[in-house]
Every structure is written in structure tokens, then in C-alpha cells.
Structure 1
Amino acid sequence: MVAAMEEGRIPGYFKNKSILITGSTGFLGKILVEKILRVQPDVKKIYLPVRAADAASAKQRVETEVIGKELFGLLREKHGNGFQSFMEEKIVPLAGDIMYENFGVEGSQLREMSRELNVIVNGAATTNFYERYDVALDVNVMGVKHMCQLAERCPNLEVILHVSTAYVVGEKQGLVQERAFGKGETLRAGTQLDIDAELRMARDSRKQLAEEEDGSEKKERKAMKELGLARAREFGWPNTYVFTKALGEMMLGQLRGDIPVVIVRPSIITSIHKDPLPGWIEGTRTIDAILIGYAKQNLSCFLADLDFTMDVIPGDMVVNAMMAATVAHASPERRGQQTAVYHATSSLRNPAPYAVLYRTAFRYFSEHPRVGKKGEPVRACKVHFFSTIAAFHLYMVIKYKLPLELLHLLNLLCCGLFSQLYNDLNRKYKFVMQLVDLYGPFALFKGCFDDGNMEKLRLAMAVDDSVAFNFDPKSIDWDDYFYKIHIPGVVKYVLK
């Protein structure tokens, strides 16, 4: 049970604390760095390891990819001319990588950081669904191992927070509990996982492929991607990303020692709801690929049941939950306790069906039409949705595959006269198939994420904190959020 938090305890906790945040150049990482600095300017240090050749390159990356973003506008206003010196005083860029021991940090810098650290937040991950197996294991699994080894060096460490994903449960149906994975646990009956064996297999496969005489880099990459997918499906997971994130959770359970550990599992993360910049988003999030396809008129059909719940949660709410969970578990009496799991999700408390996304997108692009190549307004079109894979594939054959075969034949007979038409139709076909391949499992997901632990955390918060660090999905009007905040945000920050 989460103990009641004192009045305004969340900002107070971070005063004079030193925090290491991996994945700071990612969407959530930036929001977390900004929020800590905004609510607690007296934080001691925030260490940000980023992939870079040296200290100067690391500093440059942090300046351009983190604090140089629009997201930091409120802080820039608050500190005025002192913004740069404030950032230099608080933020410590590190040329490092979670794929290496001690994140690649060495010498006096490692000794000082280890001595100072109070909190480690691991937000680094490769989120590519079909990543190379060796790369996914290096980042999502070995990264966790290296974090735990680093934690052992830190005498003043109070808590580890690890960002996972709600979809580590694969294609599970019904109510999904906030429960950590057991050692070797799989999603397919009769199978048992051995993480070390998986790491060896990936390493041996890569070595074997490298030694093949006819082995090109492209062939190796394809083979390692296929291996990841095969291993994921062998044990019941739909793709390499969620499989290796589950393995990472297991690795954390094995190596955590007695340090309090919190796992936050967000569902589909969307743009900022409230502060500091409503609608701000970076990169193409899961459902935004669908929105962008719709906006560009490349999406005429999709595999989805409009009545199914689209479990989404704004990025600022995820970060608020992460900060609240960190504070709730950072205490000596938490040492040695079980790993705490929190679902940062909305499907139980305030479910949003896919119909909300479709109707708000249709309304938005009808009222704010995109402009075509010749300056003409592009009319929002209807999309055909299919609730079964069989119906979707039948439609794709009739709508695209047969016409493509016919156009290909006509092209041969007419010396390429229909090349442009063929290429346009083929591009649309490939786009839809790629989207469905990637996001179909989410669109037909029949699970519902329990958030009982998250609700206890909410109820334990002081009044001031529950307002400043709101993560209650019930406070969101989904139609209003998508129409007024999220879709305009995607248009502004992603489509530009």
C-alpha cells in the first residue's frame, strides 16, 4: 500500500537530489527533465547520458535535442538571460550508452556520479517493433543489466524507476493486472525462457552471419530482424519490441538487489494534455501514423474495430505518474520489497474507443482541410474499417491487388503508359499494409489494463500535488482533447 504523501511532497523530494535519466533525447525523457527543473529549481544535478563521441559532442546533443526544444519555453521565460547558466549548473551531459558497463562513463566522472546519485530513471529503449534481435537485446535487456550494476556502485541511491510498456503482456485478453514478470515466465503454455540463452543465441547468430562469405550487411540485418520476430512469437509475444521489454523487466527482477524498484507501464503515449505546452509531440507515436496517413489521404481503409478501446495516455500524465511513483517508493523502509508495477493507462477508468479518434479527425480535417499541391483544399474522406483480418485482406485484394496486377499487365503491353498510376496505387497499398502490420495488434487488442496501484497512488497524494501532478485519465474529455489539442499538435509538430 502506498503511504500518504505529505503536503507538496513531490517537488520537495527532488530538492538537492541527483538524478540520472536515460533516454533524455526521447519524447518522455524531455518532458521529465523539463518538469523536474520547472517544479524544483533546487534539484542538485540531472545526469543525462547520450550517445556521443566525447564530452563536447554530448553537450551539443543535449543542447540541441533536449533543452533547445520549444518544450522548454516556460523555463526559458522564467529564467530569462540566466537560462543557459541555470541549465549548465543543473544538467550534466555524459558521453555514454546503456549498452556498455557503467553506461560508458569512466574515471573521476563515474566516481563522482556514483557517490551523488539518489535516483535512476531508465527511459532508454529501442521501440522499433521489428528491431534486429541483437540490437533490441543490447538496449532493452543488457541496458537494464548495466543499470543494475551501476546501481550497486551508488551508496546513496534511493530508488530505480524503469519505463516499460503496458503491451509487455502481448495479446492478452480481459483484465491485465499490475504484476511483475516472474523469472523465465512466458505467454505460451509449455515454454520456459532463459535470458542468457537468448543473449547467446543472438550473439552466435550475428557472428555466424558475419563469417559467411556471401553475407552482406543488408542480409545480416534482415536475418537478425527475422530471428527477433521468430523468438518473440515462439514464446507468445507479437513483436520483438514488447518481447525484449518483457525480458528487460525480468532482468530487473533478477538483479535489482534490495533497492526499491518501480516499473511504470504506459499504454499508447500521446501529446501533452496540459503543461508546459498542450499538443506538443515529437516523433510519430503509434496512432499518429494513422492520423498522418489520413491527413495525407493515403489511408482509405484500416484494420480496426471502432468499438474497441484505444488505450491512450498523454505524455505529461505519464511523467506526472513517474514522479509521484518515484517519491512514493524512495524510502529506506521500501528496501527489499517487491517490485511495484504501475499501469499509466486509461482503458479501465476512462476508455476511449477508436471511434473518438476517427470522428474527431474527420471533423478536424473537414473544418481545417489540408492544402493540395496546386493550393486546392483536400477534402476529408471516409475510411473503411474492418474488424476482422479476413475481411480486411479480402478488401485489399479487390481494391488493390487485382487492379495492381491488371495495371502491371497493361504497363507491359503499353510500354509503361500506366507507370505513374501503378506506382501511386502501389505506394498506397504498401503504406496501408505496413501500417496494419505495425499497428493492427493494438487496434484489435482486447485487454483492459487494471490501474488499481495507480489509483492508490493518486489517493495518497496531497491536494497540491494531485493538481500539479495530475495523472487521472478521468479528467480528460477525449473528444475535446483530440479535436482541440492532439490533432492540432500532430499537424503543427509532426506534419509541420
Structure 2
Amino acid sequence: MELGSIVEFLENRSILVTGATGFLAKIFIEKILREQPKVKKLYLLLRAADTNSAILRFNTEAIAKDLFRVLKEKNGGNLSTLVTEKVRVVAGDITCDYLGVKDSLLFDEMLEQLDVVVNLAANTNFDERYDVSLGINTVGAKNVLNFSKKCDKLKVLIHVSTAYVSGEKEGLILESPLKMGETLNGTSGLDVDFEKKLVNDTLKKLKADNCSDDFIKSSMKDLGIQRARTFGWPNTYVFTKAMGEMLLGQLKDKIAVVIIRPSIVTSTYKQPFSGWAEGVRTIDSIAVGYGKGRLTCFLGDPKTVIDAVPADMVVNAMIAAIVAHANDDQGNITVYHVGSSVSNPFELGWLQDYGHRYFSKNPWINKEGRPVIVGKIKILNSMDAFHTYLAIHYLLPLKGLQLVNMACCQYFQGIYVDLCRKIKYVMRLVELYRPYLFFKGYYDDMNLEKLRRAVRESGVERDFYFDPKIIDWDDYFMNTHIPGAVKYVFK
């Protein structure tokens, strides 16, 4: 694999980015504008009713964020000129035909101009409504591919998926494309068209029965989990992302497709500055709960390898992959695992130590202005042990409080409500993340190592780094990730 200058390749290129206000998408956009302000045009697809709404959303959910402060400083404190010249915000929706773009002239312009399509639009909720996840993660991937096929001079389609399309596989998991109809438990009969019909038929029946919106929402969430587990996936998110990958492999024709599968994406390692984060992600859910005193125990094997990767490394890998595969005219599909479990693994038990050390020195200040004192979180290695701990430390006190006359004692009522919240919070986290807390898989990254080698040989590694071996996890979590999560994520 040979790689020329990444910055030179990006000059005068036109790139479409879907899901343009998402976490990774914003970092990607900022990186392109900072490294190559001579890019021809960034077309940014956002879900919005019209162009003005899309522009407003982009300005408030992207440009206004602290993430863009380095780029602003580089441009004399003003981004408006650069954004006006280089960015075209597009109102659309990948769940619709033609990506929901209503402006026919703009649509034709994109077909004529685009060199690269980057699909970052996704719904990442583990237990989202099945109709919503299927529409964005599965049907949306197909719609982006169909659009890409129409582009006159497209060089490559980058589709960002997730490493966890592997479900709960054990051992070394290869960078292999998923085949249409492939399941994780050997159950036959997985058919995307049937899943779409099932969703539509179920919705029609629920509406015909005059079910409430809340009941329909709950039913669609349950359907997603049920269908995912039927074929061996633990949740709706990874199941619908897997089906999206299958459609790309089946329908790509001669389009060069690169599937990026990041593992758990964490705060930025170095660029545009260290520690930027947004939204409560997998391991941040634990950090937030622990730091705020809502989490004193958790389920998992302390020796379980947690596969994580800083967000800027994912974006750098994406950009390097664009350049590496831009001249592929054979219509190949290439998969890259972007993670750390093989190259630089760390264990769940380390998170326990990092959290305790950090929040003991830097306690969270609660609404009453008092520091939250944390103890060392208890990691329990079985459901039986977890339920026993829960019964002793939560349920028995709760039972005792029920015997107190709540109406007469506001103090005990407050304790009762707080215990109920803690139990609900812990149980939700365990339900969502249990498959990953005993995970015994390791993500092979030989394809990515070839790309890393090409980047090193091209001499641009300093700016487009994505080798997890350079990470000192202790330093990263104590001085970058947890402080970043506290600053940008804790509310």
C-alpha cells in the first residue's frame, strides 16, 4: 500500500459528510478545515426541515462548540469567511430516497462534484426503537450507497460502523466483511426486506389498535431487542449496523467501499486539543455515575479487556483510508478495526482504579455545593454476586424506609427517592453493557497496521497519528479523558 501526501490529496476535493453534527463528524470536519483549508467544498448533510434550519443547527451544534476554538484562533478568531467559502450545509435525511435533498440543483451539483462520501450518520442508542434504528443504520446505509453510485467521479465511500457488529464472539475477530444473511448464532432466515416488512406491519397493527404513543415506542424497542437476539446480536444498535454492512457488501457494484469499525470511542488524544468529548458514551456512563455518587457497584470481570480508542485517532484513520483507497477502481470492500485490544490492551479493573484516584482528588461538586465523597467501586464478577450486593446495600434499606411514615419525614423520603434512582440507574447500565463487561474478543487490526505503515512511510504520521501503542493509558485517563469528561460531559 502506497500513500502520497494526505494534505495534497485533500486540496481541491469535494467531500460529503452525513450526520454532520455527530461526535466524530465534527472532529472530521474540523480536521479537514484545519489541515487543508484549500479543500474545494465540504457538503454537510443534516437532518432538518429546510436549509435555514440546517444552517442554524450546524452553527449551534458544531461551530459554536469549543472543539472549533483552535481553528478559530488559526483564522484570527473568525471562522465565518472560511465556512462561507468551504462549507455547504445541506438539509436532508439518509432514511429517504435521494438522501432527502429537495433542492434538485444542489443534488445535481453534488453528483457532479463529489470525490468522497463519508457516511457518519447513525443512531447509536443500544435500545432505540427498531423502526428508527433500522431506518438510519440499515436503510440509511443503502441510501447513501445508492447516492454514491450516481456520483460522476466518486473515488471512495467511507462507511463508519462499529467493531461490535461482532456481537459476543470470542478470540481474535478478523477484519472481514459481513455476508448477507450471516448470523452470529447460526440461525437462518435473516432477511433485511423481511425485517423492514415486519416493522411496517407491526406499526400498522399498533396504530390500528389505537395504542398510545408510549406503548408504540415501548413495543418497537422490545421488537428491536427481540429481533437482534434472535440472530445472536446483543442489542438493536449493533444488529442494525451489521445489516447496514451486509447491504453495502451485496450492492456496492464497482464502488470502492471502506468500512471503518471503531471500538469504544473516547475523548481526543491530542488534536485539536486533548480531552474534548461530547455525550455520555459507554465507559463515560460508568464514570458519570461513579463520580456523582450514583454507582457504588458494577458487574464485570476486572480482567476483561476494554477496547477503546481516542476520537482523533479514528478520524485520522478515516482520512488516511480515503487517500489509500481513492485509486481503487476494482470495487473492493475493505474493513478496518480501529481499536486497541490487540496493540495496546487495558483492563476493566484499571478503570476502577483510575476513577477512584481521580475523584478522590477531584470530587464532583453536587447541586448543594458539597463535594461527593466516593469509595472504591465494587466490581462483581457474576449476576448472583451482583444481585446479592444489590439486595444488601440497596433493597434492604429501601424495604426499611418503606416502613417509615414518609408523609411525616421528608428526610427519609429523600433517601428513599435517591435509593430508587440509584437502583434504576445501576440496573439500566448493567442491562445495556453486560455483553461487553465479560467480553472475550480481541479485534485484529492487521489491515489497519498496513495503513499505519503506509502513513509512517509517507512521513505524515505526526499529524495523522492513529497507533494506539503510543497511548499511556494511566496518563491518558488521569490527565486527559476523565478531566475532559468532567468538563464537557458531566451536567
Q: Tell me the TM-score normalized by structure 1.
A: 0.95
Shift of 1:398: 2.5
Shift of 1:356: 2.2
Shift in alpha-carbon separation, 1:74–1:416, aligned structure 2, 3 A: closer
Tell me, yes or no, if structure 1 residue 469 matches structure 2 residue 464.
Answer: yes
Stretch of structure 1 that moved more, 282-291 or 63-72 = 63-72
Q: Deviations over 1:209-254 (max 9, x none)?
A: 11113x1000111111111110000000000000000000001112
The one of 59, 70, 77 equivalent to 2:55 is 59
Contact 2:302 2:347 in 1 (8 A): yes
Secondary structure at the counterpart of residue 172 of structure 1: coil
The one of 405, 416, 431 equivalent to 1:437 is 431
Alignment of 1:34-433 (within 5 A): 34-80=30-76, 83-106=79-102, 107-213=104-210, 215-331=211-327, 333-337=328-332, 339-411=333-405, 418-433=412-427
Shift in alpha-carbon separation, 1:183–1:374, aligned structure 2, 3 A: closer
Q: Deviations over 1:155-196 (max 9, x none)?
A: 111100000000001111111110010110001123231110
Where in structure 1 are there 5+ consecutive unaligned residues?
A: none
Shift of 1:412: 7.6
What residue identity is the alignment partner of 2:112? R
What residue identity is the alignment partner of 1:470? Y
Shift of 1:380: 2.7
CA distance in 1, matches of 2:187, 2:426: 36
Shift of 1:440: 2.1
What residue identity is the alignment partner of 1:465? V
What's the counterpart of residue 490 of structure 2? Answer: 495
What's the counterpart of residue 20 of structure 1? Answer: 16
Q: Deviations over 1:456-478 (max 9, x none)?
A: 11111235322211100000000
Contact 2:260 2:318 in 1 (8 A): yes
Contact 1:158 1:260 in 2 (8 A): yes
Secondary structure at the counterpart of residue 157 of structure 2: strand
Shift in alpha-carbon separation, 1:328–1:423, aligned structure 2, 3 A: same
Contact 1:118 1:159 in 2 (8 A): yes
Shift in alpha-carbon separation, 1:415–1:76, aligned structure 2, 3 A: closer
The one of 441, 446, 453 equivalent to 2:447 is 453
Q: Deviations over 1:186-208 (max 9, x none)?
A: 01123231110001000110111
Stretch of structure 1 that moved more, 411-420 or 45-54 = 411-420
Stretch of structure 1 that moved more, 455-464 or 256-265 = 455-464
Shift of 1:374: 4.8
Shift of 1:334: 3.8
Q: Tell me the TM-score normalized by structure 2.
A: 0.96
CA RMSD of aligned residues (A): 1.6
Q: Deviations over 1:119-150 (max 9, x none)?
A: 00001100111111111110001101111111
Stretch of structure 1 that moved more, 153-162 or 76-85 = 76-85
Shift in alpha-carbon separation, 1:414–1:495, aligned structure 2, 3 A: closer
Where in structure 2 are there 5+ consecutive unaligned residues?
A: none
CA distance in 1, matches of 2:217, 2:197: 17
% identity of equivalent residues: 51
CA distance in 2, matches of 1:174, 1:146: 34
Shift of 1:376: 3.9
Secondary structure at the counterpart of residue 335 of structure 1: coil
CA distance in 1, matches of 2:366, 2:160: 40
CA distance in 2, matches of 1:373, 1:75: 34
CA distance in 2, matches of 1:374, 1:226: 38
Shift of 1:421: 2.3
Q: Deviations over 1:329-358 (max 9, x none)?
A: 111x44222x10000010000001122222
Shift of 1:399: 2.1
CA distance in 2, matches of 1:25, 1:490: 19
What residue identity is the alignment partner of 1:492? K
CA distance in 2, matches of 1:471, 1:219: 45
Q: Deviations over 1:388-437 (max 9, x none)?
A: 22211222122222332332244489798842222111111111111111
Shift of 1:81: 5.8
- Tell me how many residue pairs correspond in the alignment: 489
Shift of 1:52: 1.3
CA distance in 2, matches of 1:30, 1:75: 12
CA distance in 1, matches of 2:466, 2:407: 61
CA distance in 1, matches of 2:90, 2:370: 49
CA distance in 2, matches of 1:222, 1:439: 19
Secondary structure at the counterpart of residue 442 of structure 2: strand
Contact 2:173 2:443 in 1 (8 A): yes
Secondary structure at the counterpart of residue 466 of structure 1: coil
CA distance in 2, matches of 1:419, 1:203: 45
Stretch of structure 1 that moved more, 410-419 or 56-65 = 410-419
CA distance in 1, matches of 2:430, 2:370: 30
Secondary structure at the counterpart of residue 468 of structure 1: coil
Shift of 1:66: 1.4
Secondary structure at the counterpart of residue 264 of structure 1: strand
CA distance in 2, matches of 1:120, 1:374: 48
What's the counterpart of residue 5 of structure 1? Answer: 3
CA distance in 2, matches of 1:370, 1:156: 52
CA distance in 2, matches of 1:417, 1:315: 44
CA distance in 2, matches of 1:360, 1:402: 30
Q: Deviations over 1:293-343 (max 9, x none)?
A: 111011110012222111110000000011111111111x44222x10000
Stretch of structure 1 that moved more, 132-141 or 64-73 = 64-73
What residue identity is the alignment partner of 1:5? L
What residue identity is the alignment partner of 2:434? G
Contact 2:187 2:230 in 1 (8 A): no
